[in-house]
């Protein structure tokens, strides 16, 4: 009788499938760890040359349990999938944010528990709207070699960094075109809050300028009427930092931003005034672009 042990079944190694992950896959999983979920359309425009190539890759990632998926039932008539971290993805991103409604909640028992929290979140549509903004910037950068999204922070990440000033931005980013680099705080407005409450948020951003950057606050609103009313409300409001508005459907990189105080002129995102604050003097290269995992880099041979 042989004393040799039988080969270990492949299912006993939870990390076996990691060898099938490309750098682009790992980048996507890191986004899902921080930003909770992305739709098929968002993944496509951020990372893939076509919808077909995105769907093929996402199907593979689902089969190897890198991602979980569920149908978007919050949008009327929608049949697209929304993607969150699966068991493998969560193992590889143990510092993932766990609960969009309660950041202090205990970590989930499993990736399914985490996905359930996301699917059941009252912020689901809001999360998708914020992620639309940033994936549109990534899509612009894919076709514009001079544009780069240097930083994409979620609400929880931005709040961890700046919450001591009393702000809770829906997102924070740094956008570069050529030699112009603009930091910004995003407020994704769905038109559900009174304008007085919206304007009250500026007090916290004013406090940020006491110790940090003077980045523009971007109010992204659902339509022209809401934007017009917000710009009128901003008239005469003193602010030491720029405030700009645009509507949801506009290309965020394009000439769509109206500055409070000068609403007749539309600026591109990289044309907005931005001051990186006192830290810029001691570390001027902190936004130098380093992206070895960019899937569209010359010489990339990753499968679609």
* Residue-wise DSSP of 71-94: E--SSTT---EEEEE-HHHHHH-T
In the predicted structure, residue 301 carries a pLDDT above the cut 70: no
Q: What is the mean pLDDT of the segment spanning 63-80?
A: 86
Q: Supply the pLDDT for residue 297.
A: 36
Which tens digit of pLDDT belongs to each residue from 153-191? 999 999 999 998 999 999 999 999 999 999 999 999 999
Phi, psi (deg, nearest 5) at residue 263: -75, -10
Which CA distances in Å does 173 have to 3, 151, 276? Answer: 60, 5, 12
Gyration radius of the chain over CA positions: 21
Q: What is the mean pLDDT of the segment spanning 283-289?
A: 46
Residue 264: count other Cβ atoms within 10 Å of its Cβ.
6
* Of 64-73, 166-175, 234-243, minimum mean pLDDT range: 234-243
Q: What is the mean pLDDT of the segment spanning 44-65?
A: 97
Q: Supply the pLDDT for residue 98.
A: 95
In the predicted structure, residue 31 carries a pLDDT above the cut 50: yes
Reported as a pLDDT band with limits 50, 70 and 90, residue 202 is very high
Q: Supply the pLDDT for residue 291.
A: 45
Cα torsion 240, 227, 46, 68 to 10°: value is: 110
Provide the percentage of residues in the chain whose pLDDT is more than 90. Answer: 74
Residue 144: count other Cβ atoms within 10 Å of its Cβ.
11
In the predicted structure, residue 127 carries a pLDDT above the cut 80: yes
CATH number of 12-122: 1.10.10.10
H-only helix segments in the chain: 23-35, 40-47, 51-63, 87-92, 111-119, 124-143, 155-162, 195-208, 224-234, 279-282
- Count of all residues that appear for the chain in the document: 304
The pLDDT mean for the chain works out to 88
In the predicted structure, residue 5 carries a pLDDT above the cut 60: no
Q: Supply the pLDDT for residue 203.
A: 92
* Of 77-81, 161-165, 292-296, minimum mean pLDDT range: 292-296
Question: pTM for the whole thing?
Answer: 0.87
Q: Any idea where the domains of the chain sit in the sequence?
A: 12-122, 126-282
Q: Supply the pLDDT for residue 15.
A: 73
* Of 10-14, 139-143, 211-215, minimum mean pLDDT range: 10-14
Which tens digit of pLDDT belongs to each residue from 11-30? 556 678 898 999 999 999 99
Q: Contact at 8 Å (CB) between 179 and 289?
A: no
Reported as a pLDDT band with limits 50, 70 and 90, residue 296 is very low
DSSP one-letter code for 208: H
H-only helix segments in 93-210: 111-119, 124-143, 155-162, 195-208
Tokens describing residue 25: 């896959």
Tell me the sheet residues that pair with 186.
171, 218
Q: What is the mean pLDDT of the segment spanning 217-238?
A: 94
Residue recorded with tokens 């604050």: 277
Q: Supply the pLDDT for residue 7.
A: 54
3-state secondary structure of 20: helix
Provide the percentage of residues in the chain whose pLDDT is more than 70. Answer: 86
Residue 240: count other Cβ atoms within 10 Å of its Cβ.
11
The strand pair at 180-188 and 171-177 is best described as antiparallel
Q: Contact at 8 Å (CB) between 161 and 272?
A: no
Give dist(CA 87, CA 135) in Å, integer: 24
Q: Supply the pLDDT for residue 302.
A: 40
Residue recorded with tokens 């040799």: 4
Q: Supply the pLDDT for residue 187.
A: 98
In the predicted structure, residue 139 carries a pLDDT above the cut 90: yes
Q: CA end-to-end span of the chain, whole Å?
A: 48
Return left, alpha or beta for 107; rule: phi > 0 is left, psi -120 to 50 is alpha, else beta. Answer: beta
The sheet that has 147-153: what strands, in order across it?
147-153, 171-177, 180-188, 217-221, 243-247, 257-259, 262-267
């Amino acid at each position: 009788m042989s004393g040799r042990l039988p080969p270990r079944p492949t299912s006993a190694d939870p990390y076996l499938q990691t060898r099938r992950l490309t750098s682009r896959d790992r980048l996507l999983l890191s986004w899902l760890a921080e930003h909770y979920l992305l739709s098929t359309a968002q993944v496509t425009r951020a990372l893939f040359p076509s919808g077909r190539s995105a769907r093929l890759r996402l199907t593979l990632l689902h089969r190897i349990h890198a991602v979980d998926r569920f149908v978007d039932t919050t949008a009327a008539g929608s049949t697209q999938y929304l993607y969150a971290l699966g068991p493998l993805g969560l193992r590889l991103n143990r510092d993932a944010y766990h609960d969009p409604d309660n950041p202090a909640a205990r970590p989930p028992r499993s990736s399914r528990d985490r996905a359930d929290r996301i699917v059941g979140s009252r912020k689901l549509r809001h999360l998708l709207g914020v992620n639309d903004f940033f994936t549109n910037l990534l899509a612009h950068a894919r076709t514009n070699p001079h544009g780069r999204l240097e930083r994409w922070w979620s609400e929880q990440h931005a709040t961890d960094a700046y919450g001591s000033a009393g702000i809770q931005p829906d997102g924070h980013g740094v956008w570069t075109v050529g030699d112009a680099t603009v930091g910004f705080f995003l407020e994704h407005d769905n038109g559900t809050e009174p304008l007085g409450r919206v304007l009250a948020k500026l007090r916290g951003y004013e406090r940020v300028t006491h110790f940090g950057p003077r980045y523009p606050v971007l109010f992204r609103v659902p339509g022209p009427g809401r934007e017009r009313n917000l710009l009128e409300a901003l008239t005469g409001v003193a602010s030491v930092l720029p405030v700009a508005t645009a509507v949801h459907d506009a290309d965020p990189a394009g000439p769509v931003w109206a500055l409070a105080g000068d609403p007749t002129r539309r600026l591109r995102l990289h044309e907005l005034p931005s001051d990186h604050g006192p830290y810029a003097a001691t570390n001027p290269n902190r936004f130098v672009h380093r992206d070895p995992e960019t899937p569209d880099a010359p010489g990339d041979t990753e499968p679609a």
